[in-house]
Structure 1
């Protein structure tokens, strides 16, 4: 669907179909729902799904040829405007997607879901005991409750790499238990951006960063989102933004009331807030499970 993408951990995005249903607090300000409303297709977020065009489905085949010729795998996020493991998606569409993925071994497919309980039963029969080498499986968790609820399902699905997207971060993630079998191979952390964005406490990001560092797990800090915690360096020119505009985010996730552990946050926008955590850019992307391509 996009030759190039602004998503920091992918080279391209591909949507075999579009549409989804909100299922947790992370979905409250869904950017894809906003896209659908602007496109005049608000029904796509109330139970209707639409398969994308034949031309769109042919894009990954071209990307695969280009990646094979260049000798460099291309990272494809599938699906940014849907969920591959949505119960409402036509099983025939998903079967077509598996065939497409099988036909494009020079692409590394990132399948990120909020429905990991469906993954195992929706995998193709040929998935095997190790998964397909060009498919990484991930799930989203906005806080500890959803991490515990979702990761237990994904942790037992065979795959060359399983990752966690902690975005939007809406509360502390807690102990990631990297010592356990099936723990995440990669962590992506990000705050929320867009209309209605909620702030992230810097302690949440630091806790994940430190756990990843101790366990040798690749860590990507994707963005602060629209809110920058006080004391953090900005990612762009502040200009005339009034830094007296601020709110408070408590350690437990509550917003709007001061407490001794609350962080002051300023609504300066995603671009200006940037992606520096304590002055450091963390951009690790694994090449295989347990190793990072760069940091």
Structure 2
């Protein structure tokens, strides 16, 4: 799938600038920091100036546009794999310039993945509005982050009218139920299904100021159009945390039930430990962590670290490569 990107869910990656500040547990093992800060020293991570890339990089989308026109194709472009396109520490003019490039490359579908979906509406408006060929997505690593970020993404979808909205559940660090989000109020009954747009029974829907979505006593939410999953890999001094395959399976089944495209990028560094007869020892999900001395501590389902290449991309013997449909 990838022409100049090793990421299975995009053909191209484009970085108008580099650098970011960590905002969630998913950032702990940031590959961009490990590569561009720790290894190459091209940019300092954290509360430091971002670095705008050169003219050659900014010209790449126009080259891809010409090829897409020739092929009659609409390739996906992951924008800012070494940054966050909706980072509010970035010069606003850079984002406006990047959006203008997107508008001038209509055959390309620009994937704007952010860990800051709460910034999308405001920063997109300041940059002249979201390009019609841009899709918006957010990273969610566990239920806590899903309850916070998914409603914000859905509100942004309603306000900015993107090509589609998507989720990157990578690194997946815990189980996630996208059909029962409980944003800002863990004690309340589930109230929104992000895959169908339906509101669950129980409780009175909260108002816009409380949950970020304009609701009434009877309403339907925008929906998520694509779900990507993946396990964590080692990055510099950060050692990958295990992802239980049952967490992947749950999201796969949720997507299948509501006919949402599901793409499984990779399993990460870990796989469940098999018994001598080749069967899994239990059906209960769990995890394995490392002690301070580097020894494995089993909790729940024992896991073994085998490396990214050996763990592979298959889930239950199947490679999941679904993509959302976009207009011609």
TM-score using structure 1 length = 0.84
How far, CA to CA, are the matches of 1:134 and 1:109 in structure 2?
6
Choose the corresponding residue for 1:179, options 181, 185, 196: 196
CA contact (8 A) 1:193 1:270 kept: yes
**Superposed displacement of residue 229, structure 1:** 2.2
Equivalent positions of 1:162-241 (< 5 A) are: 162-176=165-179, 177=193, 178-180=195-197, 181-195=221-235, 196-230=239-273
Q: The residue matched to 1:189 in structure 2 has which SS?
A: strand
Q: The residue matched to 2:224 in structure 1 has which SS?
A: coil
Q: Deviations over 1:237-282 (max 9, x none)?
A: xxxxxxxxxxxxx8476736545xx222221111111011111111
How far, CA to CA, are the matches of 2:258 and 2:232 in structure 1?
26
Q: Which runs of 5+ in 1 are unaligned?
A: 232-249, 290-295
Q: Deviations over 1:82-126 (max 9, x none)?
A: 001001100010110111000000111000000000000011475
Q: The residue matched to 1:281 in structure 2 has which SS?
A: coil
Query: Number of paired residues?
Result: 266
RMSD of aligned Cα (Å) = 2.1
Q: Which residue of 2 aligns with 1:51?
A: 52
CA contact (8 A) 1:44 1:50 kept: no
Q: Which residue of 2 aligns with 1:7?
A: 7
How far, CA to CA, are the matches of 1:70 and 1:4 in structure 2?
17
Q: Which residue of 2 aligns with 1:147?
A: 146
Q: The residue matched to 1:263 in structure 2 has which SS?
A: coil
Q: Which residue of 1 aligns with 2:22?
A: 22
Looking at CA atoms only, which structure, 1 or 2, has the larger radius of gyration? 2
How far, CA to CA, are the matches of 1:62 and 1:258 in structure 2?
50
Equivalent positions of 1:28-43 (< 5 A) are: 28-36=28-36, 37-41=38-42, 43=44
Q: Which residue of 1 aligns with 2:155?
A: 156
CA contact (8 A) 1:172 1:251 kept: no
- Which aligned segments of 4 or more residues in structure 1 are displaced greater than 6 angstroms? none
Q: Deviations over 1:113-141 (max 9, x none)?
A: 000000000114754xxx64411110000
How far, CA to CA, are the matches of 1:123 and 1:179 in structure 2?
26
CA contact (8 A) 2:146 2:178 kept: no
Q: Which residue of 1 aligns with 2:188?
A: none
CA contact (8 A) 1:95 1:124 kept: no
Q: Which runs of 5+ in 2 are unaligned?
A: 180-192, 198-220, 275-283, 290-295
Question: In the superposition, relative to structure 1, how do residues 89 and 252 fare at CA in structure 2: closer, same or farther (>3 Å)?
Answer: farther
CA contact (8 A) 2:232 2:242 kept: yes
35-44 or 279-288: bigger deviation: 35-44
